[in-house]
Structure 1
């Protein structure tokens, strides 16, 4: 069982709350981070980004034949190689299952498909995370930006219920690990889909089942368009590491309360030979990495006010 503090809530996930970000230190749990680094060293993340292929019919990986004992309890099925599966009792799920696991469903591409799946590279995992829709890409963007998140896994497991239970099986869209916070199983739905009575009842059963394993289940329905646009812009700012360090130090040194982007770049350029386009890119990178903050609910421009956490 993954031990968690159930009284803590994951603010800012079901409903966007920018103020929640400042309440947590940036990936500051050494034991979890050390464990993640060791686990990731065992398996290259790129190997878990399977090639998309046309898939019709059943998309789940083949689950091995369940024993009579396994059919009487809810079990979570994981895949360590993207081909075969193994099961865990809910009380025996470990961090390793999330970090080294492959998606338990295939990702398909078809000509008539409305939303094409993609694999999104994230700085959090140092690898690719599968997404099946634009809304899922928005969630991964938010999770990658959130300083609380230490790991993101796509479709990390499939839960199978005993025969006769109202649910047969369910695969969460994402699993999220955060230092000092409960493990989060996330289902991404449009607001209309999340509000359907059948889905509300289904998610209530899933939430109750996963709670027994110390896993919180949430339904995520999206971000304001301005927030998505800003985060997308910040995530694409990937300056050379040496340049980011050199420019970043100078820009942070020249920061003053209530300074705008244009003022900060201009002030820094007066004392150092900073290239303006590169400096603007580094400012976006500083916002993405949390060294600077700005109002994400309004379009980001050179007039945006920059604050420190």
Structure 2
């Protein structure tokens, strides 16, 4: 059988994986590695930071994949989008190293990020670094792209979100509204989904129907944003989200939640604890809208009020506001 050019491209290419911290990497032909090896491996490099550094290194707390924090390297926006994508099952920062005995691959190559989808698709990503000194040469990147595609994987060069408003909405929804909710807020899920089951309703109509003394408006709004992030509710995220944004249910858009540790199911008898939960979400909503700020000593300060009209309409910043 005639070997294809893609197979010839993989000749002599090895992949290095680290399975245990502090142990030597395991090297094997890139053709022998499978998705199970990639998922089990640990990041190739550990991120050591120091005060005053200019590199955009750090840790990303992925929610939808249920993983431990992911090492990030200047590719935060793409990780936000991947975390929101219901098809992404795993994301790993700097997952492995590729090398070859000769040619551009002799210098070695480490991808910035790896995404594994539910259908087994593997995507390797690189981004423009904040410090050019750490960027592989163009010849190395071209070689790596050829190897990745020859292996049957997907290569992506990340330059930023193509739709600024879409990313802004996802970033806003993920800013605290994607976490598991306390049972006080969980009680709102079914009523909200029932209202939007048969018809599209604007956000202000849902809030008006469910807001009462025990369920203040900021709490209802927070649950709506939580359901939007997880896919129980959908809307056009390519447009700014306002109180007039229409909501609908879509079972197909629901992302499977990661395995969560069983939470204490006992009801809180102390009403002051439940009140504290409500107050914390009200403060979070006010801080998001710019009405409150926190001093270095963790005391809260009230900012200049922006008025009820801005509070009602500005659920998420516009792309223009976020870029300014």
2:56 equivalent to 1:109: no
TM-score normalised by structure 1 residue count? 0.66
Structure 2: runs of 5 or more not aligned? 1-10, 251-324
2:220 equivalent to 1:279: yes
Shift of 1:280: 0.7
Partner residue in 2 for 1:259: 201
Whose RCO is larger (CA < 8 A, sep 6+)? 1
Aligned residues: 230
**SS of the counterpart of 1:185?**
strand
In the alignment, the residues of structure 1 paired with residue 145 and residue 201 of structure 2 have an alpha-carbon distance, to the nearest angstrom, of 44
Matches within 5 A, 1:198-277: 199=138, 202-223=140-161, 224-235=163-174, 236-237=176-177, 238=179, 240-255=181-196, 257-269=199-211, 274-277=215-218
**SS of the counterpart of 1:171?**
coil
Shift of 1:76: 0.8
**SS of the counterpart of 2:145?**
helix
Comparing 284-293 with 80-89, greater Cα deviation is found at 80-89
Shift of 1:155: 0.6
Partner residue in 2 for 1:159: 98
- Deviation string 1:132-190 (CA, Å, 9 cap, x unpaired) is 22xx1111111110000011111100101122346521111111111225211111237
**SS of the counterpart of 2:240?**
coil
- 1:162/1:168 contact within 8 Å kept: no
Q: Indicate how the Cα distance of structure 1 residues 76 and 166 shifts in structure 2: closer, same or farther if over 3 A, else same.
A: closer
- 1:81/1:102 contact within 8 Å kept: yes
- Deviation string 1:235-283 (CA, Å, 9 cap, x unpaired) is 111352534542111101001544221112222348x963321111111
- Deviation string 1:109-144 (CA, Å, 9 cap, x unpaired) is 2444224422121121332111122xx111111111
Q: Indicate how the Cα distance of structure 1 residues 165 and 233 shifts in structure 2: closer, same or farther if over 3 A, else same.
A: closer
**SS of the counterpart of 1:91?**
coil
In the alignment, the residues of structure 2 paired with residue 137 and residue 116 of structure 1 have an alpha-carbon distance, to the nearest angstrom, of 9
RMSD: 2.7
Highest Rg: 1 or 2? Answer: 2
Partner residue in 2 for 1:301: 242
In the alignment, the residues of structure 2 paired with residue 172 and residue 164 of structure 1 have an alpha-carbon distance, to the nearest angstrom, of 18
Partner residue in 1 for 2:320: none
2:32 equivalent to 1:92: yes
Partner residue in 2 for 1:180: 119
- 1:90/1:212 contact within 8 Å kept: no
